Amino acid sequence: MAKTATLSEREKIDASVEEKLSALYELQVVDSKIDRIRTVRGELPLEIKELEDSVEQLATRLEKMQEEMRQSETIISDKKNLMKDSEGMIKKYKSQQNKVRNNREYESLTKEIEFQTLEISLAEKKIKEYKASLTTKKDQITVQEDELKERKSRLKEKQGELDEIIAETEKEETALLKKSKAAEEQIEERLLNSYKRIRSNTRNGLAVVPVERDACGGCFSKIPPQRQLDIKMHKKLTVCEHCGRVLVAPDIAEKIQGKH
């Protein structure tokens, strides 16, 4: 079978400590560059999501208020029609009163007129209430429409900012992601899992750091001379006693940084 471009699992295990440290630090350098690109985007994706949710909520609320206005207008129209009908009935009953043959018929028509008069009075009251409600709703809708317009404008602005940043960094990020994937393939699974675990537990995403001025390049804690010597000799994988990051000698860091 033809030899693949990547190291076999056996070759990964047999790799020297220096090679393992170099591979880990190279992965760290590439991943840190990806982190910096994503940091440039900052909170924009989160802001955009919040604005999108806000716009959707406002639009839904506005639609509900507009539907309530339409219902109020329908009720007002219905009440006005009822008043017209009642006025017509009153006119009819009054006309009939002039033709009655006894007091019982007259009193019956009088009660009908009183009932229709009451219906008109109640309709007028309801119309007044709904008109007042409409005035309030119109004011509220105007406020909601202005707010929705302002948030849509902010959303468009923020989306434009994000699109611009993505356009500027997408090509670089894609290339770096490929490099990161290639670097991962050079590292045995156990070490890679440890690297990812340490990275996820640090605020700045640094899992592999060089020794700088006799201290850990991650937490800046001093490193005892004997441990520094072990690190420089590339004899074994050494982690910081304080923060748990993998430590590499300055010569490895300089060599890898020189490549990037």
Complete DSSP assignment for 80-106: HHHHHHHHHHHHHHHHHHTT-SSHHHH
Q: How far apart are the first and last CA of the chain?
A: 34
- Look up the pTM and report it: 0.55
The whole-number pLDDT of residue 12 equals 46
Residue 106 lies in a domain: yes
Contacts of 158 (CB under 8 A, 6+ apart): 44, 47, 48, 51
Of 128, 153, 178, which residue sits at a domain end? Answer: 178
Cα–Cα dist 104/129, whole Å: 38
Of 156, 178, 200, which residue sits at a domain end? Answer: 178
236 and 156 part of one domain:
no
Cβ distance 247 to 240 under 8 Å? yes
The number of domains in the chain is: 2
Strand-pair category, 215-216 with 238-239: unpaired
Token pair 């109640």 is found at: 122
Is the pLDDT at 14 greater than 60? The verdict is no
144 and 174 part of one domain:
yes
Token pair 């949710």 is found at: 53
Of 136, 152, 178, which residue sits at a domain end? Answer: 178
Interval 87-125: pLDDT, tens: 999 999 999 998 888 999 999 999 999 999 999 999 999
DSSP state of 42: T
153 and 246 part of one domain:
no
34 and 52 part of one domain:
no
Burial zone of 247 (CB within 10 Å; 0-12 exposed, 13-18 middle, 19+ buried): buried
